[in-house]
Amino acid sequence: MKWMLVKNDLKRNKVINFALFLFMFFSAVLAVSSIIMATQTFTSISNLYQTAQPPHFLQMHKGEINQEEIDEFMSDYDDLTYWQTNTTIAVYGESLTVVSDNRTYNLSNSQLDIALVKQNETRDLLLNSSHEKIALEEGEIGIPVLLKETYGMEIGDHVRLTSNGVSKEFVIKEFILDSMMNSTMASSTRILLSDEEFNMLEGQVGENEYLIEAYFTETSEASNFQTAYENAELPQDGQTITYTIIFLLSALTDIMTVFVLLLVSVLLIIVSFICVKYTMITTLEEEISEIGTMKAIGLPFSEIRDLYLYKYRALAAASVMGGYLLALLISSLLTKHITATFGNNRTDPLAIVLSLIGAFLVYLLIIYYCKKLLNKMKKVTVVDALVQRKGFEKDQRIKNGLYQSKKLPVNWLIGLREVFFQFKNWIIVFTVVLIAVVMILIPVNLMNTLEAPEFITYMGSSEEDILIEIENGEKLAISYENVKKVLENDGTVQHYNEFRRVRVQTTDTEKERINLTVDNGVNSGAELQYLSGKAPGAGNEIALSYLNAEKVGKGAGEQILLYVNDNPQQFIISGIYQDVTSGGYTAKAQYNFSELTAEKYTFSVNLHDQVDERDKANEWSRILGGAVTVHPMEEFINQTLGGVVKQLRMIVLASSIIGICLTILITVMFLKLRLAKDFSEIAALNAIGFSEVDIRQQYLIKTGAVAMTGILAGIVITDVLGERIVSSLLSLSGLGINKVAFISNPFIEYIICPGLLLVLILLVTWMVMKTIQNYNLISNINK
Amino acid sequence: MKTLLDVQNLGKRFEGTQVLNDINIKVTEGEFIAIMGQSGSGKSTLLYNISGMDRPTSGMVLFGGKIISKLDDKKMSEIRLKQMGFIFQHSHLLKNLSIRDNIVFPGFKAGRYPRDKINQMADALMEKTGISNVADHDIKKVSGGQLQRAGICRSLINQPKILFADEPTGALNSSTTKDVMNIINKVNTEGTTVIIVTHDAKVAARADRVVFLMDGTIHDQLKLGKYGGENELSREKRLSGWLEKQGF
């Protein structure tokens, strides 16, 4: 009996039931997909980490090392479980040429530092996609997935290494998963050779560089270890990375994607519930007399409710099951990037179990919501339903006053008045447009911000044309003099600032001594964005990076005690800035710590306008040699943020597509429902002399006005909350940025994006409204 | 008297069934015609086809000497708005507008007069139909009879040449029916042509001429002459006898 009622209802209200089905279906698809993706990301990463065992602390070093000294220090350090030093051979991209079946290309345009390595024994292993340790024979080479994706390499392609007069050819045997360096943000990448060939090429094709790796009982020990390591004057001419940063650098991209997907699915579930509510109330309003009759003949409320609930249960079950199956089918597409980066292409059983639970929760949530809505029937009396035909919605007050209008055309009056006085009826379209705008604009603004030249000032650098860095300990003094000489004698240089990096000590919040690297120079910190306070002045003033300020627990204006060669010296914190260089832990001062030895020199150079930065950087790079790195600032930004920007571009594209599709889908469904509900009114309008064009115009005005309100609200929310959302996400990432002021492109934010959405919505409305031609006016007027 | 509406050989086929067949009828200016017939005889279909709300499958309809049965939606809508008035069984007022707003908006749309004048005309119509007291009310807050009167006011706001009414009293009680018909008769005596579809003999007795439809064709016609109010009973008797002959 109940099934018959459901079947009849499904036949009778095809449009409404199909719309309901779709909303529930998409909610389930998104919820299940995001659960699968989240689980798959975390299980794949943790599986990879379990097998590959990346280090908890990594010190890169260029130049000579004394392994005995390192061993001595390591063996004395408590909580250390294992250490190793890996030798790598640094090669330039131009030394590597790939020959595939149909093309030959060179890796010279790679922004990554490329290192040739051999496989480790037990830890920091390079694995294949099945998480197995790779063993190569002579003549074979293992290429990182990152390079494979960038260049489209295939197994069996030949790689020719030509450097320092040595030439050697390899065949790609495996694509390797590198637990440490599998993201563009890592800026380095490792290519695997067989032990024999590595030993043969060592010292011949490039300089040796070292990866000094340590493992602890607790990964959190890495930061204390870092202080001790630095103080012990052990090899440290290169980046220092801890486990947390390794994890973040590797997984940030995928975690961000999961996050966006989860956000979208939550938003869609909200939208879906609004739609479910709207369609249910519409159906119940239409069936108010049937409900009244059932009440009048004495059917208890619970039975009437169950009659309706049965239908919604059937709909929810079918749509959630369908959604679950579709999500399972498309999950391999969504997890493609995870599989490529972290291997392990089997869907984890945990993902299946959790997604089943997720799907069931979506079902329960829908049913709970339906029950809550159906409970409204309880309050409707027989008299309300049968005599007064009063429905579930509270009576909306009609605003009298159209007659007072002097000029506005009637179609505008009818359209705008409905939107203005009955806005509640249009809340779905408003919400969806708002969500779409926020979904599109936040990533767009973030991408614009990261791409803007001013953004460099968030990164702890000033906005100049060329950045020169000297980090090599042995040749530091000579290189410094060389750079000075080049800059002084080059007529294209407009001005330059030099900064000298020294290491002092201070105490953290737990009164433990920690190292503080300070870049000092006349102009140090002058061009940065300050979260609070200002740039350091002359005298005992110092500015701290945000992460350092957190570490020492002090703010701008407070005093800080620095130990300069163990002598305590009082400084005042002039300001706090954000920094992503050197792991985010830096400080700036004009004060010249002359008693300390420099660890690094940085020059930021501004050229005359007509000079090409790239050419100049190449020229200086040739003159100054390998010990000095010369980057055009643009390249420096690209190298540091290129991966994020690339990923963000994907996210912008994906979120724009999702946002636009969502808006179109919901607008179409909503309008279909509206038309079904409004048809007798439309027919009456047509009968009394409003043409189809007039009616279409009224709906265009209605959707246009609602869409514009939604767009405006979306822009306001993006401008007010967008920066906060992004800032809190970035501060969670531990990159050293906790506040971002969007550098937006007004043309895109205020014209292109809103204009595009509005045009699309109007186009969709126009197309849906064209369907009124196909309806029978007469049959509708008598409804 | 001039012919206002000329229906020639009108036929309507709907989903394989011939609903109307070879209908010929001439309506002169100021005339009041009632269309009667059994359920399914094609009364409402005829009304919709001659008023341009639907298109005949054969034959033609001339309104004021012009063929309207082949006009496009825009042109036909313009004629419906400015020269025709419509009353339905249910008032079909816009639910988001007050009674007054519902009456004035077709007037604003037609734009024949300044909006102030249209408001004055609406006031006069509401006064005439006795709904001035509910002018600013929400349509959900007034009775069925008041709604139907508001529907009549709306149909008259553009001073149409012809008024079409499809069972205008079908949902009303007898006393309200009488009130509504009094208004329609008054409108007719003031010069507006009226064509009404009804199954109620008392309502049809108010017309000058009654057309009886059977199986989609005009079976017979009865001329009753102008309604004056005083000869109501004798008209009704005459009509009832005639209807009996038609098998109604």
Residue-wise pLDDT tens digits, A18-65:
877 887 888 888 888 888 888 888 888 888 888 888 899 888 887 788
Residues A775-781 have a mean pLDDT of 63
Q: Residue A560 pLDDT > 90, yes or no? A: yes
User: Are B108 and A405 in contact (CB < 8 Å)?
Assistant: yes
User: Are A398 and B86 in contact (CB < 8 Å)?
Assistant: no
User: Are B100 and A403 in contact (CB < 8 Å)?
Assistant: yes
Residue of B nearest to A396 (CA): B96
Q: Residue A737 pLDDT > 80, yes or no? A: no
Mean pLDDT of chain A: 83
d(C-alpha A698, C-alpha A692), whole Å: 10
Q: How confident is the model at residue A181 (pLDDT cuts 50, 70, 90)?
A: confident
CB-based contact A777:A687 (threshold 8 Å): yes
Q: Residue A781 pLDDT > 90, yes or no? A: no
d(C-alpha A480, C-alpha A484), whole Å: 6
Report the predicted TM-score, pTM, of the whole model to 2 decimal places: 0.72
Residues of B in contact with A403 (CB under 8 A): 100-101, 104, 115, 119, 122
Q: How confident is the model at residue A583 (pLDDT cuts 50, 70, 90)?
A: low
For chain A, list residues whose CB is within 8 angstroms of any CB belonging to chain B: 395, 397-398, 400-403, 405-406, 410-411, 413-414, 417-418, 421-422, 680-681, 683-694, 777-778, 781-782
Residues of B in contact with A692 (CB under 8 A): 73-74, 77
The CA distance from A272 to the nearest CA of chain B, in Å, is 26
Best of A398, A411, A770 to mutate (most B CBs within 10 Å, chain B): A398
Q: Residue A391 pLDDT > 80, yes or no? A: no
Q: How confident is the model at residue A404 (pLDDT cuts 50, 70, 90)?
A: confident
Closest to A38 (Cα-Cα) out of A219, A263, A246, A317: A263
Residues of A in contact with B97 (CB under 8 A): 398, 402, 414, 417
Q: Counting one residue from A and one from B, how many pairs have CB atoms under 8 Å apart?
A: 105
Residues of B in contact with A282 (CB under 8 A): none
User: Are B96 and A418 in contact (CB < 8 Å)?
Assistant: yes
Q: How confident is the model at residue A780 (pLDDT cuts 50, 70, 90)?
A: low
Domains of chain A, residue spans: 1-56+247-391, 64-236, 410-456+638-783, 457-637
Q: Residue B20 pLDDT > 90, yes or no? A: yes
Q: Which two tokens stand for residue A37?
A: 């993706």
The pLDDT tens digits for B89-136 are: 888 898 888 999 999 999 999 999 999 999 999 999 999 888 999 999
Share of chain B above pLDDT 70, in %: 99
Q: From the list A403, A688, A777, which residue is nearest B104 (CB)?
A: A403
Q: From the list B80, B100, B109, which residue is nearest A687 (CB)?
A: B80
Highest mean pLDDT among A221-225, A246-250, A702-706, B90-94: A702-706
User: Are B98 and A406 in contact (CB < 8 Å)?
Assistant: no
User: Are A410 and B105 in contact (CB < 8 Å)?
Assistant: yes
User: Are B80 and A688 in contact (CB < 8 Å)?
Assistant: yes
d(C-alpha B183, C-alpha B169), whole Å: 12
User: Are B154 and A681 in contact (CB < 8 Å)?
Assistant: no
Residues A149-176 have a mean pLDDT of 88
Predicted local confidence at residue A715, as pLDDT? 94
What's A751's DSSP letter?
I
CB-based contact A235:A63 (threshold 8 Å): yes
The CA distance from A430 to the nearest CA of chain B, in Å, is 19
**Residue A463, class by beta-carbon neighbours within 10 Å (0-12 exposed, 13-18 middle, 19+ buried)?**
middle
Predicted local confidence at residue A222, as pLDDT? 81
d(C-alpha A651, C-alpha A642), whole Å: 14
Q: Residue A266 pLDDT > 80, yes or no? A: no
Highest mean pLDDT among A395-409, A664-678, A753-767: A753-767
Share of chain A above pLDDT 70, in %: 87
The CA distance from B138 to the nearest CA of chain A, in Å, is 6
Predicted local confidence at residue B189, as pLDDT? 93
Give the burial string for A689-723 (b: 16+ CB within 10 Å, else e): bbbbebbbbbbbbbbbbbbbbbbebbbebbeeebb
User: Are B138 and A684 in contact (CB < 8 Å)?
Assistant: no
User: Are A777 and B54 in contact (CB < 8 Å)?
Assistant: yes
Written in H, E and C, the secondary structure of A469-495 is EECCCCCHHHHHHHHHHHHHHCCCEEE
Residues of B in contact with A422 (CB under 8 A): 96
Q: From the list B76, B86, B97, which residue is nearest A688 (CB)?
A: B86
Give the DSSP letter string of B104-172.
Answer: HHHHHHHTSS-HHHHHHHHHHHHHHHT-GGGTTSBGGGS-HHHHHHHHHHHHHTT--SEEEEESTTTTS
Name the superfamily (CATH) of residues B3-246: P-loop containing nucleotide triphosphate hydrolases (3.40.50.300)
Residues B217-230 have a mean pLDDT of 88
The pLDDT tens digits for B175-209 are: 888 888 999 999 999 999 999 999 999 999 999 99
Residues of A in contact with B155 (CB under 8 A): 688
CB-based contact B69:B60 (threshold 8 Å): yes
Give the burial string for A342-359 (b: 16+ CB within 10 Å, else e): bbbeebbeebeebbeebb
Residues A251-275 have a mean pLDDT of 68
Least confident of A340-354, A493-507, A583-597, B191-205: A340-354
Mean pLDDT of chain B: 91
- Read off the amino acid at residue A409: P
CB-based contact A48:A127 (threshold 8 Å): yes
What's A184's DSSP letter?
G
User: Are A690 and B53 in contact (CB < 8 Å)?
Assistant: no
Written in H, E and C, the secondary structure of A638-666 is HHHHHHHHHHHHHHHHHHHHHHHHHHHHH
* Residue the block writes with tokens 């199909």: A18
Q: How confident is the model at residue A166 (pLDDT cuts 50, 70, 90)?
A: confident
d(C-alpha A605, C-alpha A493), whole Å: 7
The pLDDT tens digits for A608-622 are: 888 888 888 888 888
For chain B, list residues whose CB is within 8 angstroms of any CB belonging to chain A: 44-45, 48, 53-54, 73-74, 76-82, 84, 86, 88-89, 92, 94-98, 100-101, 104-106, 108-110, 115, 119, 122, 136, 138-140, 154-155, 158
Q: Which residue would you say has higher pLDDT here, A470 or B122?
A: B122
Q: Residue A146 pLDDT > 70, yes or no? A: yes
Q: How confident is the model at residue A141 (pLDDT cuts 50, 70, 90)?
A: very high
d(C-alpha B239, C-alpha B233), whole Å: 10
Predicted local confidence at residue B157, as pLDDT? 94
Q: How confident is the model at residue A726 (pLDDT cuts 50, 70, 90)?
A: confident
User: Are A688 and B136 in contact (CB < 8 Å)?
Assistant: no
Residues of A in contact with B92 (CB under 8 A): 680-681, 683-684, 687, 781
Predicted local confidence at residue A261, as pLDDT? 65
The pLDDT tens digits for A619-670 are: 888 888 767 888 887 776 666 666 667 767 877 887 888 889 888 988 888 8
Closest to B94 (Cα-Cα) out of A765, A402, A671: A402
Q: Which residue would you say has higher pLDDT here, A285 or A717?
A: A717
The pLDDT tens digits for A120-140 are: 988 999 988 888 899 888 899
The CA distance from B70 to the nearest CA of chain A, in Å, is 15
Best of B53, B103, B143 to mutate (most A CBs within 10 Å, chain A): B53
Q: Which residues contact A401 (CB under 8 A, 6 or more apart)?
A: B98, B101
Residues of B in contact with A782 (CB under 8 A): 44, 88-89
Residues of B in contact with A769 (CB under 8 A): none
Give the DSSP letter string of A595-651.
Answer: TSPPSEEEEEEEE-TTS-HHHHHHHHHHHH-TTEEEEEHHHHHHHHHHHHHHHHHHH
Query: What was the ipTM of the complex prediction?
Result: 0.90
